[in-house]
Copies of this chain bind each other. A is one copy, B any other.
Amino acid sequence: MKNIKIKTKGKYEVVDITSEVEEQVKHLDEGIVIVYTPHATGAIILNENYDPNIGKDIVEALDKIIPEGKWMHDAVDDNGAAHIKAAIIGPSETVIVKEGKLQLGTWQNICFCDFDGPRERTIYVKVIKG
A residues bordering B, Cβ < 8 Å?
31-32, 34, 36-41, 45-48, 51, 53-54, 56-58, 60-62, 65-66, 71-73, 75-76, 80, 83-84, 86-96, 103-108, 124, 126-130
Does more than half of chain A's interface fall in helix, strand or loop, or is it mixed?
A: mixed
| CB pairs A–B below 8 angstroms (11 shown) | A40-B107, A41-B107, A48-B83, A53-B73, A54-B73, A54-B87, A57-B71, A57-B72, A61-B71, A87-B89, A88-B88
Closest B residue by C-beta to A98: B126
B84→A58 contact, CB < 8 A? yes
B108→A47 contact, CB < 8 A? no
Copies per complex? 3
A46→B105 contact, CB < 8 A? no
Q: A72-B57, A103-B38 are in contact. Are A92 and B89 (CB under 8 A)?
A: no
